[in-house]
Amino acid sequence: LADRLEGAWKKLRGQDKISQSNIQDALREVRRALLEADVNLQVVKDFVTEVETKALGAEVITGVRPDQQFIKIVHDELVQVMGEENVPLAQADHSPTVVLMAGLQGTGKTTATAKLALHLRKLERSCLMVATDVYRPAAIDQLITLGKQIDVPVFELGSDADPVEIARQGVERAKAEGVDTVIIDTAGRLQIDQDMMAELARIKETVQPDETLLVVDSMTGQEAANLTRTFHERIGITGAILTKLDGDSRGGAALSVRHISGAPIKFVGVGEKVEALQPFYPDRMASRILGMGDVLTLVEKAQEEIDLADAEKMQEKILSANFDFTDFLKQMRLLKNMGSLGGIIKLIPGMNKLTDDQLKHGETQLKRCEAMINSMTRQERQNPDLLASSPSRRRRIASGAGYKETDVSKLVSDFQRMRNMMQQMGQGQFAGMPGMFGG
C-alpha cells in the first residue's frame, strides 16, 4: 500500500486541507489495498465510507499535512474496527472454564487447542484437552501426541463414541479433577456443512462453554466473511483465533471476522510449533494490513503531536537551571499524547526488546509522577527545591495524591538528579527523559 498510496498522498500533500474532491484517489487506494489484503468486499465498502466521513469531518491540525492526517485516520479506523485492545481469554468464576474450538478442517483447530493449553499452563492454569474429532482417523492421536509434547492430559473415548458424549464427559472429568480450563477440540469439514453445525450446536448446548473460539486460517481470504457469518449465526462465537499468520497473508481476515461477528480476535497462530501463539494486537495488525512500516507510524505520531518550535524552546529550558516541575509535567503529557508509552518505545529500533512488564512499569511511574505534581502548589512546582527542605509540604502532597511521603521524596530527588544531569549534558540532543523509565 505504502508505494501505491504515494501518488495519492502526493496529490493530497499539495492541498492545505482534506476535501471531498481531493480525497477520492486516496480512498480508492485504500479500497484497493484492503481488497488486496483479502478483506471482504462489503466490509471494505463499509470501512471506506466510514473513513471518508471521518476524514471530511476531521479538524485541520496545524503543522500536520493532510496526507499524514488521512493515513492516521485510516490506521485509527482499522484499529478501532478490530477492537482497540487485546482481549484475553475468558475465565469462569467457577472452574473449569470451558473453551470450545470451532472451524473448518485444516484451519489449525487441533494445533490451536494445544497452543492454547500451553499458553494457559504457562499462566499456571491447569488444562484438560478433549478429543471429539472421531471422523478423521488420526485426529485423536494427533491431540494425544501434542498433549505429550506439552505435558497436558487428553480426554478421549476412542473413535466410536458420540462427540457430544465425549465433550460432556470431558467437562465432568475436568470438574472432578479440579482442572482450571478444559479445551474441547472438534471436528471440522472442508466446507460448511449442516451435520457439522448441528453437532457443534449440540456440543455447545451440552457443555455451555464460557468461550467459543472460531479458528480461522488467515489465508482463507474473501471467504472468511461468509464463514464467520455462518458460524456466528448458527453457533454464536465469543472470539476467534487467526492462524497461519507466519505466511505472507496480510491478515485482512482479521478485519472481516471482527466486523461481521463483533467478536474479538484473541490470539494469532504464527507457526506450526506449539509455542507459536501470540495475543492479538489490533494496532500491529492495522499496520500489517496497511503494509506500512512501524517506523512510519512513529514519524507520523511524532510529527502530529510535537510542535517543533515548542520542542526547541523546551530543550533550551531543560538544559538550563530553570527547568521546573511544570515543564516536567508538560514533557510527560507530551509523551502521553503520543500514545501509549509502550507503543512508542516498541517502534524505536533496538528498544523493542523491553518486556511488557518494564513498559508497564514505566507507564505506572509516569502516572504516579503526574498525580504528585498535580497536588503541588504553583510555587512548589516552580521551585522544586522548596520540597527538598520541607517534610510538611511533602506530606501534604503525598496525602493529596494518595501516595507516601517517601514517594514524594523520591520524586524530588529523582527530579533534582535529572536536572543536574541535563545541565551537564549542555549541548546534547533533546533526548526525552533519561532515567524516567529505569526500574
Check if the beta carbon of residue 56 is closer than 8 Å to that of residue 69: no
Least distance in Å: CB of 111 to ligand GDP? 3
Restricted to residues 227-246, the positions that interact with ligand GDP (CB under 6 A) are 243-244, 246
Q: Give the footprint of Mg ion on this chain (CB under 5 A).
A: 109-110
Q: What is each CA distance from 180 to 140, 347, 356, 375, in whole angstroms?
A: 22, 36, 25, 44
Taking CB under 6 A as the binding criterion, the range among 46-54, 106-114, 226-234, 349-357 that sits at the site for ligand GDP is: 106-114
Set of cell numbers at residue 387: 520540597
Determine the residue with CB nearest Mg ion.
Answer: 110
* Residue 265 φ/ψ, nearest 5 degrees: -85, 125
The three three-digit cell numbers of residue 249, written as one number: 497473508
Contact 13, 67 (CB under 8 A): yes
Radius of gyration of the chain (CA): 27
In the complex, the smallest distance separating the C-beta of residue 284 from Mg ion, rounded to whole angstroms, is 27
Task: Find the shortest distance in angstroms from Cβ 37 to Mg ion.
Answer: 27
Is residue 132 involved in binding ligand GDP (CB under 6 A)?
no
**Member of 18, 276, 290, 412 binding ligand GDP (CB under 6 A):** 276
Record the cell numbers describing residue 373, joined without a space: 505534581
Rounded to 5°, angle at Cα 356 from 371 and 333 = 30
Binding residues for ligand GDP, total number by CB under 6 A: 17
DSSP 32-47: HHHHHTT--HHHHHHH
**Shortest distance (Å) from residue 176 CB to ligand GDP:** 27
Between residues 66 and 108, which has the closer beta carbon with respect to ligand GDP? 108
105 contributes a contact to ligand GDP by CB under 6 A: yes
Dihedral angle sign, alpha carbons of residues 250, 255, 261, 264: positive
Phi, psi of 135, deg, nearest 5: -90, -40
* 366 vs 373: CA distance, rounded Å: 11
Give the nearest distance from C-beta 213 to ligand GDP in angstroms: 12
Q: Comparing C-alpha atoms, which of 416, 406, 397, 427 is closest to residue 325?
A: 416
Residue of 110, 256, 287, 365 that binds ligand GDP (CB under 6 A): 110
CA 71 to chain centre: 19
Is 44 or 182 the residue whose CB approaches Mg ion more closely?
A: 182
269 binds, among ligand GDP, Mg ion, none (CB under 5 to 8 A by kind): ligand GDP
Instruction: Supply the minimum distance, in Å, between the C-beta of residue 110 and Mg ion.
Output: 3
What is d(CA 207, CA 211) in angstroms, rounded to the nearest whole number? 11
Between residues 109 and 258, which has the closer beta carbon with respect to Mg ion?
109
Residue 244 annotated as part of some ligand binding site: yes
Q: Terminal CA-to-CA distance of the chain, rounded, Å? A: 39
Residue 172 binding: pick among Mg ion, ligand GDP, none (C-beta 5-8 Å cut-off by kind): none
Among 83, 188, 239, 264, binds ligand GDP (CB under 6 A): 188
- State yes or no: 115 annotated in a binding site: no
* Footprint of ligand GDP (CB under 6 A): 103, 105-111, 188, 243-244, 246, 269-272, 276
Binding-site members for GTP are 103-110, 185-189, 243-246
